[in-house]
Structure 1
Amino acid sequence: MFQESPRDPTRNGVLRAAEKVAAILPPTPLLPVEIRGVHCWVKAENLQPIGAFKIRGAWNRLSELTAEERTRGVVGVSSGNHAQGVAWAARKLGISARIVMPHDAPQMKLEATRAMGADIVIYQRPGEDRDAISQTLCAETGAVLVHAYADPWVIEGQGSAGIEIAEQMGREPSSIVVCCAGGGLTAGLALACPSSVIYPVEPEGWDDVTRSLAAGEILAVEDNPPPTSCDALQALSTAPVNWAVLKERASPGTTISDAEVRAAQRFAFANLKLVLEPGGAAALAAALAGKVELDENTVIMLTGGNVDPAKFAAVISSSD
C-alpha cells in the first residue's frame, strides 16, 4: 500500500524544517483558553495561508526536491488540506502539481486547490485506492509522490509546529492534543517535543492509530467505517514510517463523535472567534469532552479551518 520510506524522520530534520518554514511564514498564534476550569493553550494552525497546518509539510517536501525532480512535477493525495499545501508550495516554486482527491471532498477545498494551479484527479471514496492511483500517476509521468503523511520530509515539516510552540512557551509543553488521521502531524510533534505527552484524537470508527497503539501493531480501520464530518481525518491506516515514531512516543489515542466535534466548533467560534472545520476541531472536542488530561502547559492543536460556509453556519446555529 505504501512505498518504502527512503529514510526515517529525525528531530534534526524537524529543526531544519522549522528554520525553512520560519523563513517564509510567520508563527501561528498560541492562544490562552480555559477548558473545564483549566487554563491551557490552543495552537491556531487554521490561520495558516491555506487554512491548515499542511502547508508546513508540503513546503518542506517540495523545497527539498532537486532541480531535476522539480522538472518532473509532483503528485499528492489529499481530501483537501494537503492538496492546498502542495498546490501553494508548487506554485511558489514553479512546479507542476496533480492532486488525487476524493469525490466527496468539500467544494471549497476543491476550488481552492484548483485556484492555486493544481490539476485534480478525482477518485471514489470508498471504493478506489488513492495510493494506488497516485503511484500509477507517478509511474506514468515520472512525477515525485508527496504523500499526505507517509513521507519523512512531510512528517518533519509538520513537526515544525512543535518547535514553534516550544519557542512561544519558552519550554516544551507538558502535553499536546493532536487531531490525527495517518499520523504525520502526530509523529512530527512527537519528534519536535520529546518530553511532551502526545495524545492523538480520531473520529469514531476512523481510529486506525488508536487501534494500532492498543494492539502494538499497525491496524487499519475496521470494515465499513461510519460516516464522519471530519473529512480530513479519514485515513484507512497509518504507515510504517509514522508507526516507527508513534509506537514509541504516542499515548493511547481517543475518539470523538460528530456531536462532540460540533460542540468544539461552536466553542471555538464563541470563545476564540475562530472558524474550525470538523477535522480541525477534533483535538479541542476531546479536551472539552474530558477525554484527555489537561494542565496549564497543555497545547491543543486547531489544525484547519476550511469548512463550507453553509455547513459551518448550520453548526454554529444549532445546539445539539
Structure 2
Amino acid sequence: MPEATVTPDDVREAAARLKGVVHRTPVLRSRTLDRLVGAEVHLKCENFQRVGAFKFRGAYHAVSRLAPEQLARGVAAFSSGNHAQAVALAARELGSSAVILMPEDSPRSKRDATEGYGAEIVTYDRYTGDRAALGAQLAADRGLALIPPYDHPHVIAGQGTAALELIEDTGPLDALLTPVGGGGLMAGSALAATALSPGIRMIGVEPEAGDDTRRSLAAGERVRIPVPHTIADGQALSEPGELTFAVNRRLLDSVVLVSDDEIRAAMRLAFERLKIVTEPSGASALAALLAGAVEPLPRRVGVVISGGNIGLDRFLELMG
C-alpha cells in the first residue's frame, strides 16, 4: 500500500478503534530528570501498555481490521519478542489464533509470555535466516494472515496513537524522541506529532551497532547492514521497512546513536530514580537525551519509553 495512504487521520481513526482496548499510558515527569537533562521532559511510558510495550497498539489495530473469515483461519507474525506477544494477545482477544516466528535467541521472558498468550512459536536463526521471507512462507503454507511488525499501514497507524495521546496530554512539544527499529513507531508518531504540534523536531534513536535508518536517510534510500549485535534486541534489524522509511524520510529531522553502555545507564537511572523498569530498546530514547546526543537541546521534549519487557535475570546481568 503506498505511503500516501497512511495519514494523521488514519492515526486518529486507529485511536477511536483502540479506545477501551489499549491502556492510555501515563506521562511521567521528574524534577530530577529535568535537572539532569536541562529541559522539561515528558516520558510516555509504554512499558505500562498491555504486553508491556507499544506494540499492542499496532498489532491489535491490524488484527481487528481483518475480515471474519481471516480471523477464523488465524494470523502469523515474525518478531524478536514484543510484536510476538502483541499479536498473540490480539488474536486471543479477537477470537483468533496465532503462529509466531521468533529468533532462537529471543529473550526467554518474551518467548514465555508469547506462549502464555496462547501462540504457537516457530524459531529461526536471526543471523542466517531472512525472517520476512520465512514469515511469509509460514503464513502462506498455513493459510494465515501475516501481520508484520512495522511495515503495514494499520500497524503504523496504531503505533502512532502513543504520540497522539502524549501531545493531547502535554500540549505542543519542541521535540519528540522515539526509538527506531523497523520504523513503525517513529512513522506513526511522526504522522501524529507533526500534525498536532507543528514545528516539532522528530528525532529517532538507534543503537550504535544498528544504524540502518541513519545510514538510509543519509543515502536517500534503504541501506542494508549486517544484523547488529546489541543489547537492544528490539532494534537489532538490518534494514528499515519500505513503508516506514517512506514516511520517516519525509518527516524525521535526524537520527542519533547511543551505545550499549549509555542504554544501560538510562535503564539504571529509570529504575533507581524514576522507579520504572525498561528493556534496553525501551530506554534508548532516554539514553540519547541523558548522553547529550540531542543538539540543540529542546525546551519541552517528549520521550517514548517504548517497552519494559525484560526478565529479572537479564536485568540484573545488564546492571551488573
TM-score normalised by the shorter chain: which range applies?
over 0.9
In the other structure, the counterpart of 1:69 is 70
| Structure 1 residue 40 displacement after superposition | 1.3
1:166 alignment partner AA = I
Aligned to 2:122: 121
Cα distance per residue 1:139-167 (max 9 Å; x no partner): 11221110000100000000001110111
Measure, in 2, the Cα distance between the counterparts of 1:214 and 1:131: 24
Structure 1 position 226, deviation (Å): 4.5
1:8 matched to 2:10? The reply is no
Is structure 2 residue 216 aligned with structure 1 residue 212?
A: yes
- Distance, in Å, in 2 between the alignment partners of 1:26 and 1:104 is 29
2: CA distance, partners of 1:246 / 1:126: 26
CA distance in 2, matches of 1:104, 1:76: 17
Could you tell me which of 296, 301, 308 is aligned with 1:298?
301
2:205 aligns with 201
Counterpart of 1:18?
A: 15
Change (3 A) 1:260 1:173: same
Instruction: Give the structure 1 partner of residue 104 of structure 2.
Output: 103
The one-letter amino acid paired with 2:285 is A
User: Which residue, 270, 278, 284 being the options, matches 1:276?
Assistant: 278
Q: Once the two structures are aligned, what percentage of the paired residues are identical?
A: 41
Superimposed CA distance per residue, residues 237-260 of structure 1 (whole angstroms, 9 cap, x where no aligned partner): 112211111111112211111100
Conserved 8 A contact 2:98-2:119 = yes
Deviates more, 1:253-262 or 1:305-314: 305-314
Structure 2 unaligned regions, length at least 5: none
CA 36–91 in structure 1, closer or farther in 2 if over 3 Å, else same:
same
Equivalents in 2 of 1:75, 1:251: separation in Å? 34
TM-score, normalised to structure 1's length? 0.93
| 2:29 matches 1:32 | yes
Structure 2 counterpart of 1:216, which letter? G
Change (3 A) 1:113 1:47: same
- Paired AA for residue 311 in structure 2: D
> How far apart are the structure 1 equivalents of 2:172 and 2:237?
28
Deviation, 1:98, is 0.6
Q: Is the contact between residue 108 and residue 308 of structure 1 (CA under 8 Å) also seen in structure 2?
A: yes
Task: Find the residue that maps to 1:24 and give its secondary structure.
Answer: coil
Q: Is the 8 A contact 2:208 2:259 kept in 1?
A: yes
2:210 alignment partner AA: W
Equivalent position of 1:308 in the other structure:
311
1:296 Cα shift? 3.7
Note the C-alpha offset of 1:49.
2.0
**Partner Cα distance (1:145, 1:302) in 2:** 27
1:276-297 residue CA offsets vs partner (Å, 9 max, x unmatched): 1111111011110001144342
- SS of 1:23's equivalent in the other structure is coil
Q: State which drifts further: 21-30 or 272-281.
A: 21-30
Cα displacement (A) at 1:7: 7.4
Aligned mates of 1:289, 1:218 — CA distance in 2: 27
TM-score, normalised to structure 2, is 0.93
CA distance in structure 2 between the partners assigned to 1:6 and 1:270 by the alignment: 41
**Aligned partners of 1:93 and 1:31: how far apart in 2?**
31
Shift of residue 125 of structure 1? 1.6
Question: How far apart, in 1, do the equivalents of 2:120 and 2:192 lie?
Answer: 33
Spell out, residue by residue over 1:196-255, the C-alpha distance to the aligned partner (whole angstroms, 9 max, x if none): 21111111121111111111111112x3x5421011111211122111111111122111
Q: What is the rounded CA distance, in whole Å, between the counterparts of 1:267 and 1:36 in structure 2?
A: 12
Preserved contact between residue 230 and residue 279 of structure 1 (Cα < 8 Å) = yes
Q: 1:44 offset after TM fit, Å?
A: 0.5
Distance in 2 (alpha carbons) for counterparts of 1:252 and 1:152: 23
CA distance in 1, matches of 2:305, 2:248: 20
Q: CA deviation at 1:23?
A: 2.3
Distance in structure 1 (CA, Å) of the matches to 2:140 and 2:24? 37
Whether 1:254 aligns to 2:251 is no
Aligned-partner Cα distance in 1 for 2:289–2:257: 11
